[in-house]
């Protein structure tokens, strides 16, 4: 796990720019750093420097790769990056983990390759040497990397299937830049910091982040998950981007319930087993909910000799207090539990740091418990954390899926709908859902009273997006709706937060529920295996019989990393952020009318019947703070 950076400039670049953008994210890789420099020509050797800020022999290199390393596999100096294979044909800067690297390495050794490290980084290099671009289809993991192919004079970059690890890029002036974080490109390129109005609109109106290749900054793009990028030095510095993987919605061959549960169990066990591969301690982010508890208990089953440490966020508020569930899980497998205690004043004190690391506005106060959990893991010396992110989207854990499922049954005229509705009323999971988060699923004609932009934005900004649609409603099937969340509206945003909150504290976060083999099976198995007899995530609950404590396996409440959102937002608007909404001028005045925003904040503070919900109004605060922190106009 690392942070990456790079510059390609046909006329050469100042090496100090690459050094600066690499060290700007030192928290992503405290174990070491390095640089690779190259000149044009298939016979020109690549100069690699590790752990010193030394310039290359030729003063203005044309190709540069930078890396900050967090050592997880083969923590010796042999794993330093950038790395090249013995003959110098290929050099790479890599961020992530290839979980099945041992299996791929064994296959490559049978093909005649010889390895000098125990890293997955070298496995990528040798895989590319053996199979070229097609090597991506063999990897199971999370990654973003840039590989310099000296013979082809080509930069080959790729991002993992779901985009767990970030990859940003821009062409500015006469140079191409790429990086793990937007701030690196801004610092190295001196690009103007101008807000992208499409992303601002989708964020304010529907709470969407990372929904496309665009970012909040004009001119800076991200490589979408499941895509590769190529840049040929013999051509203009315009990258070509193509998809190499897509989550396909295609019903599986019919299986018996027993066989389907066994197949799911096998894939889930494999996903956890692969993610336990590490040369440093591995812990678990434990909320007490079904998903993170399943990951924890499965990890213990796979590695019974390991006494795992867990990290949880606890609250005094009864409605979101999950301590009893956390305690039950820890007791069942004799784990070592650690608790952090996020509170409102601490959140508002830390919010600018959160936004700095996020590079884009944060979506809610819910990022802070995750921040605290990762900080706690760092303080206890556990650099790898397993989490339950992705379980809801993969297995229909959210309330909305119930309605989408009922709609699908109704369209098909399936009489099962009556039985399911009755059993849902009796057994159904209860959810902690805000009105603000639910209204984004309303059709356009009904959204008027709930539209944030209609209430706080200038008229010209609203009119520019009158025809815009969120694409968040029901679709042709439940599986198609899951695909939307996994690739567009939910998981990309959650992964953005997951990566930034963990890497800010030099923690590698691993997510078994986003193992692509598990996702492909779970999304395409019969809806009745996910939503059944009134239960959500039925197949997971059944597969975990005997592994999970019954108190958790049959739990009907669902919270996750929640916060006392309303109280925290009220606290911020009443105190430290008052100057913001009372200001006569805002940095984001193109998108937020100060007078109208002030009116809405006062309605919220006075609990007016027509007031916006806390999570919706928080987006206005977050947007303006983002503009201030990153000096955006």
Structural domain spans, the chain: 2-192+219-243, 257-396+473-558
Model pLDDT, residue 19: 98
Model pLDDT, residue 504: 98
Model pLDDT, residue 413: 81
Q: What is the CATH number of domain 257-396+473-558?
A: 3.40.50.620
| Buried-exposed string 251-275: b where 16+ CB fall within 10 A, e elsewhere | eeeebeeeebbebbbebbbbbbbbb
- Would the CATH topology of 2-192+219-243 be identical to that of 257-396+473-558? no
Dist CA 480 CA 477 (whole Å): 5
Model pLDDT, residue 443: 52
Q: For residue 190, count other CB atoms closer than 10 A to its CB.
A: 11
Catalytic center residues: 2
- Give the CATH architecture of domain 2-192+219-243: 4-Layer Sandwich (3.60)
Cα–Cα distances (Å) from 516 to 91, 139, 290, in that order, read 27, 10, 20
32-38 and 47-50 beta bridge pairing: antiparallel
Dist CA 388 CA 287 (whole Å): 9
Model pLDDT, residue 445: 47
Q: Is the peptide bond before 82 cis (omega within 30 degrees of 0)?
A: yes
Helix and strand numbers (H, E) in the chain are 25, 20
Show the low-confidence residues of the chain (pLDDT under 50).
Answer: 432-433, 435-436, 445-446
% of the chain at pLDDT higher than 70: 95
Model pLDDT, residue 358: 97
**Across the strands, what pairs with 241?**
229
What is the 8-class DSSP label of residue 217? B
Packed helices 344-358 and 491-503: angle between N→C axes, nearest 10 degrees: 100
- Look at residues 121, 230, 213 and name the one whose alpha carbon lies nearest to residue 166: 213
pTM of the model: 0.94
Dist CA 486 CA 628 (whole Å): 31
Model pLDDT, residue 440: 55
Contact 241, 229 (CB under 8 A): yes
Model pLDDT, residue 270: 98
Rg of the chain on CA atoms, in Å = 24
């Amino acid at each position: 796990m690392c942070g990456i950076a790079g510059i390609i400039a046909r006329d050469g670049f100042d090496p100090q720019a690459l050094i600066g953008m690499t060290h700007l994210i030192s928290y992503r890789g405290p174990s070491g750093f390095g640089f690779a420099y190259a000149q044009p020509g298939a016979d020109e050797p690549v100069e690699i420097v590790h752990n010193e800020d030394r310039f290359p022999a030729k003063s203005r290199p044309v190709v540069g790769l930078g890396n900050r390393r967090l050592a997880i596999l083969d923590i010796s100096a042999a794993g330093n990056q950038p790395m090249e294979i013995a003959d110098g044909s290929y050099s790479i800067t890599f961020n992530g983990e290839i979980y099945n690297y041992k299996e791929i390495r064994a296959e490559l050794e049978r093909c005649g390759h010889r390895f000098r490290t125990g890293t997955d980084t070298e496995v990528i290099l040798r895989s590319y040497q053996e199979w070229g671009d097609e090597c991506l289809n063999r990897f199971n993991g999370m990654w973003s990397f840039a590989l310099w192919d000296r013979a082809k004079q080509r930069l080959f970059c790729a991002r993992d299937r779901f985009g767990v690890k970030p990859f940003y890029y821009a062409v500015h002036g006469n140079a191409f830049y790429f990086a793990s974080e937007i701030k690196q490109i801004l610092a190295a390129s001196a690009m103007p910091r101008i807000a992208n109005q499409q992303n601002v609109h989708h964020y304010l109106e529907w709470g969407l982040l990372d929904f496309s290749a665009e970012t909040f900054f004009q001119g800076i793009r991200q490589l979408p998950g499941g895509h590769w990028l190529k840049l040929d030095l013999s051509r203009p510095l315009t990258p070509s981007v193509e998809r190499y993987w897509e989550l396909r919605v295609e019903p599986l061959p019919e299986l018996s319930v027993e066989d389907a549960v066994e197949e799911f169990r096998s894939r889930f066990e494999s996903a956890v087993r692969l993610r336990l591969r590490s040369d440093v301690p591995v812990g678990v982010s434990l909320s007490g909910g079904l998903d993170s508890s399943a990951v924890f208990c499965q990890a213990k089953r796979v590695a019974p000799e390991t006494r795992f440490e867990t990290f949880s966020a606890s609250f005094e508020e009864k409605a979101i207090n999950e301590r009893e569930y956390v305690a039950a899980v820890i007791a069942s497998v004799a784990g070592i539990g650690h608790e952090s205690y996020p509170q409102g004043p601490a959140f508002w004190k830390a919010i600018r740091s959160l936004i700095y690391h996020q590079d884009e506005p944060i979506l809610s106060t819910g990022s802070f418990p995750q921040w605290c959990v990762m900080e706690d893991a760092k303080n206890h010396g556990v650099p790898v954390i397993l989490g339950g992110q992705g379980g809801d989207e993969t297995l229909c854990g959210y309330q909305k899926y119930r309605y989408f499922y009922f709609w699908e049954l109704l369209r098909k005229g399936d009489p099962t709908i009556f039985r399911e509705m009755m059993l849902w009323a009796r057994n159904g999971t209860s959810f902690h859902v805000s009105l603000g988060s639910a209204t984004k699923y309303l059709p356009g004609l009904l959204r008027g009273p709930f539209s944030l932009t209609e209430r706080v934005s200038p008229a010209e900004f609203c009119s520019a997006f009158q025809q815009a649609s969120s694409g968040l409603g029901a679709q042709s099937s439940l599986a198609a709706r899951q695909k939307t969340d996994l690739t567009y509206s939910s998981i990309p945003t959650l992964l953005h937060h997951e990566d930034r909150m963990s890497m800010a504290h030099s923690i590698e976060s691993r997510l078994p529920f986003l193992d692509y083999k598990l996702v492909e099976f779970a999304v395409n198995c019969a809806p009745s295996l996910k939503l059944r007899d009134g239960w959500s995530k039925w197949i997971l609950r059944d597969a975990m019989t005997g592994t999970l404590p019954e108190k958790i396996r049959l739990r009907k409440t669902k919270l996750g990393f929640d916060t006392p959102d309303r109280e925290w937002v009220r606290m911020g608007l009443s105190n430290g952020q008052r100057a913001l909404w009372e200001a006569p001028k805002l940095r984001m005045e193109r998108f937020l009318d100060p007078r109208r925003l002030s009116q809405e904040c006062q309605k919220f503070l006075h609990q007016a019947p027509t007031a916006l919900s806390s999570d919706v109004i928080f987006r206005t605060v977050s947007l303006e703070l983002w503009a201030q922190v990153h000096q955006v106009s």
